[in-house]
Structure 1
Amino acid sequence: MVELSDRRSAHNYHPLPVVIAHAEGAWVTDVEGKRYLDCLAGYSSLNFGHGNPEILAAARAQLDRVTLTSRAFYHDQFAAFAAGLADLCGKDMILPMNTGAEAVETAIKVARKWGHEVKGVREPNIIVMEDNFHGRTTTIVSFSTDPDARDGYGPYTPGFKIVKYGSADAIRDAIDENTVAVLLEPIQGEAGVLVPPDGYLTQVREICTAADILFIADEIQSGLGRTGQTFACDHEGVVPDMYVLGKALGGGVVPVSAVAANADVLGVIRPGQHGSTFGGNPLACAVGNAVINILNRGEFQTRARELGERLHDRLRALPGVITVRGRGLWAGVDIDPSLATGRQVCEAMMRQGVLAKDTHGSTIRLAPPLVISAADLDWAVDRLELALKEFA
């Protein structure tokens, strides 16, 4: 299966050589019956576990009723989804899409249109961060600093100013009369789970308010319980002007994404100006409603917070580990590069029964489903320790 997949599909991914056939909770099983602990969780798409019963029940019930109408008509799941997600975010309204990249593109379009109509800016620019990851569309890779994501895809879309992540002064210095927004990840996931300095998000909020520009938080990976709060911005009590959401919003069942903002921002979009055939479809909304109900109870935020402390404490004590970053059940682990690459460590972990993902040389990312038990979490760290000993 691995050979056939590699021969008949484009090589835009470099998967570990494991073929998954079944999954439940935090565990997956391959075609040969071997079980693995999933410590990637679909890049946080599976925050609530593989096959979450509450989410699957909502999906199954909706499958028997209606799955797609397009937004040309109303359907009976949409109002609850729109109101529920807006309330979860503390905003007036949402605009639903499918993938995270579509949601980021939507946020960019909304910010530019807001700049044109509200601020009267003719050529708006948006301030973005070095080492960002917001997706791989042509516009988004235009402001990427990752050569793998950017190189070879020009000509590039103008209108972005790239500054150092974690520096409020860099943002302040980059603002000019044409700036309409600041777009950032509260924690940079693809870059290695980089957490900005304490107070950074608060400063960004203050700068954007003073300059009358939008603060757009890409919470696609960091949001919806992963870091121990509903949103990573909550750790500083910061509310952006626009949330960009995806991944876990679909419960690991269907792609669901959205932007959430107040009416004075999202109100600039009028009929025919932006849309998606599948965005906000009945099946997506039914699944999204189940996810919102789960998040409103707060149980997974608490689990991520409590188990996250356990995870980070144990990782920092491992020999061969240089640095551990992150919040909640999300960690970027820098391995001593003299020992092994991140890929080599992930391959060794796979042999030990744990699935994880490397990034940028000798860094591995750990992001297990939030349903993981304390015992399984300890087991995963023990397996990482055994993997590292292979290179000692």
Structure 2
Amino acid sequence: MPPEPQPPTARRARRAHGRGGRSAVTIALLAVVGAIVLAAALTLALTWPGHVTPSGQAAGLGDAGVQHVNAEVTGSSMQSCDASVENMLPDGTLPASVACLKVEARLTSGADEGRVVSVYATSGITKGDVPAGTRIIVEHYPAADGAPETWAWSDFSRGVPLGAFALAFVLVAAVVAGWRGLRAVAGLAVAFTVIWVYLLPALVAGKPALLVGLAASVIIITVALYLAHGPSLRTTTALGGTLAGLLLVAALGVLGAHAAHLSPVASEDDYRLAALIGDHGVQTLHGVFLCGVVLAGLGVLNDVTITQSSAVWELRAADPTASWQALFTGGMRIGRDHIASTIYTIAFAYAGASLPVLMVLQLYDLPLGQTLTSGIFAQEIIRTLAGSIGLILAIPLTTAIAVSVATRATTRQLTAQGGHAH
């Protein structure tokens, strides 16, 4: 009895396995992804900022010689003080005097360690906020030009609680996700290192912000994905979809900024930053907005692309004979659910981050249309919509790439979870 003919998909998988599992689609994916990563690495090398000298003091926005010293509160008392700008009344006048909190603190670092100094806490801090033993930071202004030395309140010392939360985050990731969770945390550490060591200094130095942002994002997401999920065709497929989404978000950001005539200095913080950067401050801020658009979309893109890639891989492993159209349709059913939930995530994340701005605009009592088209608000709208559109389009792109690769992958490649060769 002659053998039963195999379906076309099975014959394609066998031919792919006979060629070592490297179909033309797989080779094209590896070539494109490799070229983009190589271009990002080259851009990073060419735009490396080197040493950047802080310009805050030169711009008159910093105090030369000021020292920040750790201290521990030993006591506090309410006093009567002269009013300052912080105490301005709604009619623009200052009260004759205000109640203020005098804090006694023992220095726990620096040359004067052990000395007790007195400082006045900033407005809004009460005795209940600074019981004895509270760790704070004080500013020391040395004596100069006949003026005596001065000690002033700076801030609370938050190293211990922040460190505790960071440790809890790492432990929870390790317990719930195991080694993959720890590798994801390592990828996060690499991401913040790239941002702190390369991205921020390059922006301050006036390097092309959009190129710098794209280069940093490509390096970050490449390292993060392979660290967390391991080197496999599944991970490379997700990386390809993420890179395509990043380029889409960048293009939409450029288009939106130009069409909406967004000003790079829309708030007081923008003016301050422009002054700190120096002569090219305003020009640099044009690109900083676009760089922010790319970075804002990076995390969400990573989330949806790795999910889509994994979904297609699992669908293919469950039914090795499924056609391209069937796999794409199944993957998009999952993708549409992800789109709906992620859109809300992006919108509410931006709303939460900009809640103080929303409150100020509410107090101004301007018409809703005028509020939404104001410079500060327009930036957030363009940022949100550019990221959301890029996210939505990245899902069918990633699904199509994943289906094209998965339908030509071998059984070993389909079942690989990462950490194996392509």
TM-score range, shorter chain: under 0.3
Which one has the bigger strand percentage?
1
Larger Rg: 1 or 2? 2
| TM-score, length of structure 2 as denominator length | 0.23
| TM-score, length of structure 1 as denominator length | 0.24
